[in-house]
Structure 1
Amino acid sequence: MSRAVAAPPAGCWWADPALPFAESRRARHSSASYLPHTHPTLSIGAVDGGTSRFACGDERAVLGPGTVVLIPAHQVHACNPLPDGCWSYQMLHFDPAWVAAVLDEDSAAQARLPARVMASPRAYRLVCELNRTLFSPADSVEKDAALVAFIGDLHAAIDTGAASRTLPAPAAVSARVAQLCELLHERHAERLPLAELARASGLSRYHLIRAFRAETGMTPHAYQLDLRIQQGRRLLRQGAALAEVALALGFADQSHFQRAFKQRVAMTPRGYQRAA
């Protein structure tokens, strides 16, 4: 499908302390590949050029120009170019509570945007128009209005029958896995051997990995790394030094932190901090 709006200029990141509930990233001709990961945000991506393989839970899709994807907070996913290929894309991130509040103000709207892949020229145009405003010199008041309008307009685009494919919600998490997730949240900066996690859950090491991966989409170790990177983003936005963040999050060294961060955020920690 041909795209409705020309691809944006060179890759960059937008964030505004006055509007802490939203961020945006644009990338052009990227060949980088990323590990399965999550975001604490509602993430909305749009493909400007090239082709990408999208994985969300057990679902797989090939995304071409003009495709828009919606990924709820904490849903494991990955989106990578074809082998030896590259692609251009836009990615928006929204605080889920802020999105729910915007939709709650409209009694006709359900306060959620489910996971889905959309082949909708209207939805793609909305992403492009919003980013044009966000990356412009416009005042934060104008950008705030554009963000609110975008959420409402995107919800309407879904409701009016945009060509889309709804992705299934993640499987319910069992009590044992939920308890282990809580432990990993509380002690995400600690080195937690698999044997210790198995004892805490009352499962064998093998069954722990199987159950945890089936219900979260990740192994316990990958889940813990993901939590560390999410906390790292918060600390970097607050101005913490790179070495301090790596130490606080339990990484063996700064290079290990940088490698894990780039594999999930699509940029280096220093680049992210400068942009944010």
Structure 2
Amino acid sequence: MSSLCSPLFWRDPRMPHVELRVIHDAREICYAPHSHEHWSLGAVTAGRSTFQYGEATYSIRAGDLVLMNPHWVHACNPVSGEAWAYLMLYVDTPWLTELRFKAGLLSSPDWLDFTTAVVSEPRLYANYQHMAACLLSQQSTAEKQATLVNYLLEVMHALEPASDSETRRIPEGLQAVADYLNTHAGCDISLEQLCRFSGYSTGHLIRAFKQHYGLTPHAYLINRRVQLGQHELKQGKTIAAAALDAGFNDQPHFQRTFKRLVAATPNQYRQ
């Protein structure tokens, strides 16, 4: 893969609450449906693509911003091989929640989803590019932090969070299953275990879980294991160690699954 096609991941240990992904040519980059623990904000910098988010599908193009709530299933893929490029900012959810709360944008220090999925606003788009350029530059950490916070607050003020009636309410039994998968993702977990744990029948659990989380319990577990793998790689673990810690039986399986969900190899992500 050429350097233009290869993803660039910007990270700084002095700013552990944020990560930036840069893609110059995404024609060959395809994502399987997946979700993140963090809040994500992307900018399409060239071309067009299709954005699947929850149960909706959007056609997005250069100049658009896309927003992804934590744990919402999504995928963004090219249109018939057309060239497109994007920037993607991943922000730690607890850190962003505190920022919103201290700015008076939340009534309590608890995360609240946004109803907006796509924003076409030239000023916010231009300021996104300025913020991203700052993170990628040689400017001081203090300057990068200030630019990031100022931009996020600008976006937060421009968006309307979901009301209580719009917030997705997860049945207690399904939430318990998700919590169990989150906590024990590195372990062997069978569907029969989850049924015994939750009291759901096999068919009911699969249907109900996918309805509320967008993924079957097994797909949710695999998605969570990839998230664990990402965390391990960011901590400097080898690919083999990350695969083992994340619950994969072998490194090749981890690499294939990682690339399918992250649209990058584990080695590219480590770099």
Give the alignment's TM-score, normalised by structure 2.
Answer: 0.88
Unaligned runs of 5+ in 1: 1-7, 160-165
Give yes or no for the alignment of 1:124 onto 2:125.
Answer: yes
Q: Structure 2: which 5+ runs fail to align?
A: none
Which residue is 2:21 aligned to?
25
Structure 1 residues 169 and 130: CA distance shift in structure 2, 3 A: farther
Q: Find 1:91's aligned residue among 79, 88, 93.
A: 88
1:43 aligned onto 2:44: no
**Structure 1 residue 170 displacement after superposition:** 6.3
Q: CA RMSD in A?
A: 2.2
Displacement, 1:104?
2.7
Aligned match of 1:61:
58
Q: Residue 30 of structure 1 aligns to a residue in which SS?
A: coil
Letter in 2 for 1:258: Q
Contact 1:126–1:154 under 8 Å retained in 2: no
Q: Deviations over 1:209-260 (max 9, x none)?
A: 1001001000001100111111111111111111111112221211111111
Q: Residue deviations 1:45-74, cap 9 Å, x none?
A: 111112111111111111111110111211
Pair 1:134–1:205, CA change in 2 (3 A): same
The one-letter amino acid of 1:131's match is: A
1:6-34 Cα deviation digits (max 9, x unpaired): xx998422110001111101101212111
Q: Look up the match of 1:78.
A: 75
Instruction: Name 2:206's counterpart in structure 1.
Output: 209
Deviations 1:112-163 (A, max 9, x none): 561421111111112101011011111111101111111112223447xxxx
Q: Which SS does the other structure have where 1:69 is aligned?
A: strand
Alpha-carbon distance in structure 1 between the residues aligned to 2:183 and 2:254? 19
Match in the other structure for 2:114: 114
- Structure 1 residues 176-217: Cα deviation after superposition (integer angstroms, max 9, x where no partner): 211111221222112222233223222221111100100100
Give, as a single letter, the amino acid of the residue that structure 1 aligns with 2:94.
A
Is the Cα contact below 8 Å between 2:31 and 2:76 reproduced in 1?
yes
Given the alignment of the two structures, is residue 179 of structure 1 paired with residue 176 of structure 2, yes or no? yes
Matched to 1:22, the amino acid is V
Alpha-carbon distance in 1 for matches of 2:123, 2:227: 31
User: 2:148 aligns to what?
Assistant: 147
How far did residue 174 of structure 1 move?
Answer: 0.9
Q: Which residue of 2 aligns with 1:247?
A: 244
Residue 104 (structure 1) aligns with: 101
SS at 2:187 equivalent: coil
| Structure 1 segments of 4+ aligned residues over 6 angstroms from their partners | none
Quick one: distance in 2 between partners of 1:178 and 1:113? 17
Contact 1:126 1:150 (C-alpha < 8 Å) held by counterparts: yes
In 2: Cα distance, 1:86 partner to 1:200 partner = 47
Distance 2:113 2:207 in 1: 29
> What is the CA–CA distance in structure 1 between the aligned matches of 2:199 and 2:155, rounded to whole Å?
44
Determine if contact 1:189/1:248 at 8 Å carries over to the other structure.
yes
| Cα distance change, pair 150–113 in 1 and its aligned pair in 2 (3 A) | farther
Q: For 1:251, what is the secondary structure of its paired residue?
A: coil
Q: 1:80 to 1:232 in 2, by over 3 A?
A: same
Range 259-268 or range 208-217, more displaced: 259-268
8 Å Cα contact 1:122/1:157 also seen in 2: no
Distance 2:123 2:155 in 1: 9
**Preserved contact between residue 185 and residue 224 of structure 1 (Cα < 8 Å):** yes
1:271: how far off? 1.4
